[in-house]
A and B are shown apart, each in its own frame.
Chain A
Amino acid sequence: MGTFRQIGAVTAMNLSSVPSRIGASSVVVIGIACVVGVVISVFGMTRSLTGTLRDSARPDRAVVLRSGASNETASTLLVDAIATIKDAPGIARTPDGDAAASAEMMIAVSMHRKEDDTMAGVTVRGIEPAAATVRPEVRLVDGRMFRPGLREAIVGRGANGEFKGLGIGDQVALRDSQWTIVGTFESGGDAQESRLLVDESTLLSAYQRTAANSLTALLESEAAFDEFKAALTTNPTLSVSVERETEYYARQSKSINQLLDFVTYFVGGIMALGALFAALNTMYSAVSTRAVEIATLRALGFGSTGVVVSVLAESLLLAAAGAAIGAAVSWLWFGGNTFAMGNGTSSLVVKMQITPALLATGMVWAVTVGFFGGLFPALRAARLPVARALRAV
């Protein structure tokens, strides 16, 4: 029992002396705030990006591409192949009794970003009427649906917010034709919201094409995938590859995820190392400033556990304060912001989410740095030879 009282007393005494060492202590706080800020921001980007892509995909939807094509751009599906695919078993039905499958052509159009007027590509996707069943998450929030046969488009909320000239009533110039935007849709913040949707047959005729890029089908169930895939891949008239939509999106985002993970662990890791050295330095200094005090306590009969705990508590407290600052800054700065990723031919508008899980991750990094930054100085404090420390007076 006495030990706990001792620990409490020594720790309280130590912490109350922190304000007099505020300069040195702020080194730990600021260093850790930087680490936590960076870790939360970069992890936030990665998580929001994968979240957006994950939300876009469902395991009971299948993407059909020409075999050998690694993505939709490279793939072409001719009209008769599309008819054969739609006859395959395992596809769900629309209320009208048709196959719940949408053969889609995609092109890109360069638009000016609202933020800095630079150009970036926005995907324009032709969808078939069955798309309403295939992707029930797409909901009109403003205006009306495009009419088949007319050069009309609906725009996703993300694209609408990120780019100029994508409001209802605006005209978008595709190859030798003007398309009018007649509605805005949302689909739960997924990748679809970064696109324009138009009628597939109108788009095909405008581009004088006879082939779609890909086909997305809603299956009767997740389990129906194997049957669907087997039917298509064993059909000798077809040369296609079939993937679950979840797998397709995971594959598309693999390389960008690797890059972001590298940034997080490389930059975050090195910064954490720097903060650890700074914390060690500060805590060693704190111990050496308090050498006489600690020796006196020890001479009075206080055990070394109390001393160790008091130093560790100080370090952890400073780390927690730093983590709180870093988390608050990154939350205020990035939370809820949208950022656009992409290249010349497609963009993905991502909403930055700073979640409690992310804040917890930041706290774990901070506490780890704080713990090791305090541990070694604490052990030194405990081993301080009492007589020699006191002689220094």
Chain B
Amino acid sequence: MRYLPLIWAGLWRKPVRSVLTFLCVLVSFLLFGALHGVSAALGDIVSSMSDTRLRIQSRVNISEPLPFAHLARIERVDGVQGAGYYNFFGGYYQEPSNSFSSGAVDIARMGIMFPEINLAPDVVEKMKRTRDGAVIGEDLAKEYGWKVGDRIPLRSNVWVRKDGAPEWSFEIVGTYTWTNNIPSNELWMNYDYFDEARTFGNGTVTLYFARIADAKRAAAISDEIDRLFANSAFETQTQNERDWIRGRMSQAGDIGFFINAIIAAIMSALLLVTAFTMMQSVRERIPELAVLKTYGFGNGTVVSLVFGEALLICALAAGLGLTVAYFAEPPIYRMIGAGGLRLPWSVIGAGFALAAALAVVSSVLPARRAQTLNIVDALAAR
């Protein structure tokens, strides 16, 4: 610690070079945070998914409706503790670019199907009493500045009202959050109200949920549900939630690969830049290091001075870069349809670990040189 002023002075020996190296590292870690933050956040969503909740959709395609009569039969399957349903609404506010997840549900069943939800009992009661009520996620409420009691007009990408009105209007009766930190950015309306008002598809839902007690039996129960409806006009495909989201994510697999390729390219280019700058900086200062050694500084101390300089510049720049990424990330998440997320701490941790590794790698050769230098030769600038 007491050598900190010395290391600091070393950095300001060539201010232009130090500042440029600093900026280079900063920019790299900003990109690292922003890009790795995207893939890490998606990974967090996968691991937050339940393996004791089954998701039942049409075998043909998610856009194919399932009849409401399936519900009672699913509930009777051995091992199923309860079932719920969801009808895709595809809502947006004013402009199609303001789209968010929205669906028609039975709110009481949602509370049972999703134990990880924070939903007050009086909100459920109020929702039951308000036919055109809606429950919205707190993150969604924040994004659009909506409050409980507001009446909001929505349009749908899919559904048209029987009465010909172009907009659906809902009264916000309450909000919910998730206990496991995934963004709460959905709007839920009453299925009964929705089903009565729409022109087509009446008496059907987009998907069913079924809660089971034992994750080990998920595959067997899924098969049993699918067997129930085999060879009917509405065959089903049942998966536990975690397997389903994994399948969805791997569709974006090319993009993940692309992101990682960019990160790898940036990091290797950065390593090269920093390593060369450090080496050059030490090379120019060989006589100074020799002077330090003459004064009686040990090999270890000189090596740690060289290393400390690399570490200081990397840690400061990485810290600033990751801070900027932390604040830049929420709009990026919103853009990819995952508004309400924050940059995971794991990314910041990984960033600092990477910064330390960068400092070590780029100071190995210069430190070795500083350690083995011959004082007489170095002072003579040979």
Interface residues of A (CB under 8 A from B): 23-24, 26-27, 30-31, 34, 37-38, 41, 66, 68-71, 73-74, 76, 107-110, 113, 116, 118-121, 173-176, 211, 239, 254-255, 258-259, 262, 266-267, 270-271, 273-275, 277-278, 280-282, 284-285, 339, 342, 344-345
State whether A175 and B250 are in contact (beta carbons under 8 Å apart), knowing that A38-B262, A274-B24, A274-B266 are contacts in the complex. no
- Taking a contact as CB atoms under 8 Å apart, the answer to whether A281 and B157 are in contact is no
Q: Select one of B21, B27, B277 contacting A273, CB under 8 A.
A: B27
What are 14 A-B contacts defined by CB distance under 8 Å? A30-B272, A37-B265, A41-B258, A68-B155, A107-B60, A108-B62, A108-B64, A267-B262, A271-B27, A278-B24, A281-B17, A281-B24, A282-B273, A345-B63
Those 4 A-B pairs whose CB atoms lie nearest each other, nearest first: A274-B27, A176-B233, A108-B61, A277-B24
Q: Select one of B164, B166, B254, B277 contacting A281, CB under 8 A.
A: B277
Is B178 at the interface (CB under 8 A from chain A)?
Answer: no
- Taking a contact as CB atoms under 8 Å apart, the answer to whether A107 and B270 are in contact is no
Is B232 at the interface (CB under 8 A from chain A)?
Answer: yes
- Taking a contact as CB atoms under 8 Å apart, the answer to whether A38 and B265 are in contact is yes
- For the complex, give the distance between the alpha carbons of A271 and B234 in Å: 51
Minimum Cβ distance to chain A for residue B245 (Å): 12
- For the complex, give the distance between the alpha carbons of A278 and B271 in Å: 11
- For the complex, give the distance between the alpha carbons of A301 and B98 in Å: 67
Interface residues of B (CB under 8 A from A): 16-17, 20-21, 23-24, 27-28, 30-31, 34-35, 59-64, 90, 96-97, 155-160, 164, 166, 199-200, 232-234, 237, 247-248, 250-251, 253-254, 258, 262, 265-266, 268-270, 272-273, 276-277, 280, 335-336
Minimum Cβ distance to chain B for residue A54 (Å): 20
- Taking a contact as CB atoms under 8 Å apart, the answer to whether B266 and A34 are in contact is yes
Q: Select one of A258, A271, A277 contacting B20, CB under 8 A.
A: A277
State whether A118 and B247 are in contact (beta carbons under 8 Å apart), knowing that A30-B269, A107-B63, A259-B335 are contacts in the complex. yes
Minimum Cβ distance to chain B for residue A122 (Å): 9
In the bound complex, residues from chain B placing their C-beta under 8 Å from that of A271 are 27, 31, 262, 266
- Taking a contact as CB atoms under 8 Å apart, the answer to whether A74 and B159 are in contact is yes
Q: Select one of A68, A119, A278, A345 contacting B160, CB under 8 A.
A: A68
- Taking a contact as CB atoms under 8 Å apart, the answer to whether B158 and A74 are in contact is yes
Minimum Cβ distance to chain B for residue A237 (Å): 14
Q: Select one of A26, A267, A285 contacting B35, CB under 8 A.
A: A267
Closest A residue to B96 using CB positions = A70
State whether A173 and B60 are in contact (beta carbons under 8 Å apart), knowing that A24-B280, A259-B335 are contacts in the complex. yes
State whether A270 and B157 are in contact (beta carbons under 8 Å apart), knowing that A70-B96, A345-B61, A345-B62 are contacts in the complex. no
- For the complex, give the distance between the alpha carbons of A73 and B62 in Å: 13
- For the complex, give the distance between the alpha carbons of A71 and B270 in Å: 46
- Taking a contact as CB atoms under 8 Å apart, the answer to whether A344 and B27 are in contact is no
- Taking a contact as CB atoms under 8 Å apart, the answer to whether B273 and A27 are in contact is yes
In the bound complex, residues from chain B placing their C-beta under 8 Å from that of A175 are 60, 64, 233-234
In the bound complex, residues from chain A placing their C-beta under 8 Å from that of B27 are 270-271, 273-274, 277
Closest B residue to A73 using CB positions = B158
In the bound complex, residues from chain A placing their C-beta under 8 Å from that of B61 are 107-110, 121, 344-345
Query: Told that A24-B276, A37-B265, A70-B96 touch, could you supply 17 new A-B pairs with CB distance under 8 A?
Result: A23-B276, A26-B272, A27-B269, A27-B273, A27-B276, A68-B166, A107-B60, A107-B61, A107-B64, A109-B61, A118-B247, A118-B253, A173-B59, A176-B233, A254-B97, A277-B23, A339-B254
Closest A residue to B164 using CB positions = A239
In the bound complex, residues from chain B placing their C-beta under 8 Å from that of A23 are 276
In the bound complex, residues from chain B placing their C-beta under 8 Å from that of A66 are 160
Minimum Cβ distance to chain A for residue B110 (Å): 21
- Taking a contact as CB atoms under 8 Å apart, the answer to whether A110 and B60 are in contact is yes
State whether A74 and B160 are in contact (beta carbons under 8 Å apart), knowing that A271-B266, A277-B24 are contacts in the complex. yes
Q: Select one of A120, A282, A344 contacting B63, CB under 8 A.
A: A344
- For the complex, give the distance between the alpha carbons of A282 and B325 in Å: 26
- For the complex, give the distance between the alpha carbons of A2 and B250 in Å: 64
In the bound complex, residues from chain B placing their C-beta under 8 Å from that of A262 are 335
- Taking a contact as CB atoms under 8 Å apart, the answer to whether A174 and B60 are in contact is yes
Minimum Cβ distance to chain B for residue A164 (Å): 15
Q: Select one of B62, B164, B273, B335 contacting A344, CB under 8 A.
A: B62
Q: Select one of B21, B160, B262 contacting A69, CB under 8 A.
A: B160
- Taking a contact as CB atoms under 8 Å apart, the answer to whether B280 and A31 are in contact is no
- For the complex, give the distance between the alpha carbons of A281 and B14 in Å: 11
Minimum Cβ distance to chain A for residue B273 (Å): 5
Closest B residue to A177 using CB positions = B233
Closest B residue to A38 using CB positions = B262
Minimum Cβ distance to chain B for residue A147 (Å): 23
Minimum Cβ distance to chain B for residue A119 (Å): 6
- Taking a contact as CB atoms under 8 Å apart, the answer to whether B156 and A74 are in contact is yes
- For the complex, give the distance between the alpha carbons of A284 and B16 in Å: 9
Minimum Cβ distance to chain A for residue B265 (Å): 4
State whether A284 and B20 are in contact (beta carbons under 8 Å apart), knowing that A110-B60, A259-B335, A344-B63 are contacts in the complex. yes
Closest A residue to B262 using CB positions = A38
- For the complex, give the distance between the alpha carbons of A278 and B266 in Å: 12
- Taking a contact as CB atoms under 8 Å apart, the answer to whether A70 and B157 are in contact is yes
- For the complex, give the distance between the alpha carbons of A176 and B64 in Å: 12
State whether A278 and B273 are in contact (beta carbons under 8 Å apart), knowing that A34-B266, A175-B60 are contacts in the complex. yes
Q: Select one of A76, A239, A270, A275 contacting B200, CB under 8 A.
A: A76
Minimum Cβ distance to chain B for residue A221 (Å): 30
Closest A residue to B259 using CB positions = A267
Minimum Cβ distance to chain A for residue B204 (Å): 12
In the bound complex, residues from chain A placing their C-beta under 8 Å from that of B20 are 277-278, 280-281, 284
Closest A residue to B167 using CB positions = A68
Q: Select one of A37, A255, A275, A281 contacting B97, CB under 8 A.
A: A255
In the bound complex, residues from chain A placing their C-beta under 8 Å from that of B336 are 259
Q: In the complex, which of the residues B164, B276, B335 has the most CB atoms of chain A within 10 Å of its own CB atom?
A: B276
- Taking a contact as CB atoms under 8 Å apart, the answer to whether B269 and A121 are in contact is no
In the bound complex, residues from chain A placing their C-beta under 8 Å from that of B60 are 107-110, 173-175
- For the complex, give the distance between the alpha carbons of A380 and B30 in Å: 30
- For the complex, give the distance between the alpha carbons of A339 and B252 in Å: 11
In the bound complex, residues from chain B placing their C-beta under 8 Å from that of A285 are 17, 277, 280
- For the complex, give the distance between the alpha carbons of A362 and B17 in Å: 27
- For the complex, give the distance between the alpha carbons of A174 and B235 in Å: 10
- For the complex, give the distance between the alpha carbons of A274 and B28 in Å: 7
- For the complex, give the distance between the alpha carbons of A23 and B232 in Å: 69
Minimum Cβ distance to chain B for residue A30 (Å): 5
In the bound complex, residues from chain B placing their C-beta under 8 Å from that of A277 are 20-21, 23-24, 27
Q: In the complex, which of the residues B60, B233, B258, B272 has the most CB atoms of chain A within 10 Å of its own CB atom?
A: B60
